[in-house]
Amino acid sequence: MASHLFTPIRLRELTLKNRVIISPLCQFSAIDGNAVPWHWAHIGQFAQSGAGLCILEATAVSAVGRITPGCLGLYSDDNEAALTRLLKDTRTFSDMPMGIQLDHAGRKASTRPTWDLPKGNNVPDEEGGWKPEGPSPEPFTPAWRTPIELDAAGLARVRDEFVESTRRADRCGFDLIEIHAAHGYLLHEFCSPLTNHRTDAYGGDLMGRLRFPLEVAKAMRDAFPAHKPIGVRITGEDWVEGGLTLDDAVVFAKALKDIGIDYVTPSAGNVAPGMKLPKVVPGYMVHFAEKVKREAGITTMTVGMIYDPHHAEQIVASGVADMVAIGRAIMDNPRWPWHAATALGERIDTPKQYARSSPQHWPAYAQVHGVQLRAGEGVMSHATRE
C-alpha cells in the first residue's frame, strides 16, 4: 500500500513531491541580516534530504523586526543578494522547492540567541540592541524592553515592510512564503487579547485584533505572484488564561482563506509569561490542525515533536493534517526523509553521490558490486562479498 506521507500535494501551481516539510529553524548566525557560510551548510544538507519543501528560518522584514542581532533579514539589497546566491547555489544540486518565513518580532525583538540567554534576554544598546515596537507599550515581562506603540504611520510602515520583503522574496526565487503570526511575535501580538490593548480599530474584539494581520496578509498576497502559494503560521492557543483559543484560530483561518491564503500551520504559546502547557508528547499540537482543517476548510500543516515516520504517516493518512513539518528531528538527522521513506516502503530521490549509503539503493548496489545482503538484514555493514 502506497504511503500517504510520500504522495504529492499541490499548492496553487507548486507541486511538492511529498508531505514532509522542513520547518523554519532559527540559526541566529546572520551578520546584519545577511546569510553567511553557515546558512549554505545548514540549508545545503536539508536540500539533499528528499523532503517536499524546505522553509527558511524566520526572516525579518526590517532591522527592528529581528528577534536577535543574528537573525536573517530580507529588508536590504545586501540581504536580498545573499539569499539569491544561497538559492542559486542550492539549486545547482537540488530541485527541492524553497520557502521563506517572513516575520517581525514585535516586542520580542532585540533579544539574545538561545545560547546566550544566561546573560539576560534583551541585548543592551552598548552591545547593538535596539528599541522594539508592538501593538501596545507593554514589555514581555518587566525585565524586558518596553516596546514603542505603533501609531497609524507605524502600522502603514510595517505593512509596507512586509510587502517589500515579499517582493524581494520573489526576486530571490523563493517558491513559497510563510507569514509568521505565532510564537509571540508582532502579528501574534496583535491577535492576542493578552498583548493587544489598543482602543482604535486594530484592538478590541477578535475581528479588531485580527484586522492588522489580515491587512498585512492581504497586501502580501497581492504583491506575490498569483501562481506562488502563501501560508501563515498561526496560534492554536496562547496557553495563558484569557488568551487566544482554538475557536479563535478557526476564525482567523477562515478569514485568511477568504483573502487567498493557501494553508495554515497552527502552533501555540510564547506570547506571554505564565503558560500552562499540556503534556508535551509527540504530536501534542496535531489536534489544532485537525480542528482548523475541519471547521475552516483550509489546507493545514501540523507541528509538534513529530519524530516517528509511522506517526507522520498516520497523521496524513487519517486526514488530520495535509502536511507534517519536521524540525528538531531533522536537525538531529538531516536524512530523516530517506529513513522515513524506507520505513514506509517508499523510494525517494537521493543524491547520486550518496546513493550507495541509502537503504533504498542497497539492493541495486549489491547486484552491481556482487554483494549479497544477509536475509533480514538492512545494513551494508552486514553484507558479505561472495
Q: Answer for the pair 45, 86: CB distance below 8 angstroms, yes or no.
A: no
DSSP 226-245: TTS-EEEEEEEE--STTS--
The dihedral region occupied by 185, where left means phi > 0, alpha psi between -120 and 50, and beta the remainder, is: beta
* Residues designated as active site: 185
Q: Is the dihedral of CA 230, 236, 238, 243 positive or negative?
A: positive
Q: Which residue has the cell 485584533?
A: 209
The C-alpha atoms of residue 328 and residue 337 are separated, in whole angstroms, by 13
Q: Which residue has the cell 550518496?
A: 354
CA 234 to chain centre: 11
The C-alpha atoms of residue 298 and residue 300 are separated, in whole angstroms, by 6
Measured from the Cβ of residue 325, the count of other Cβ atoms closer than 10 Å reads: 26
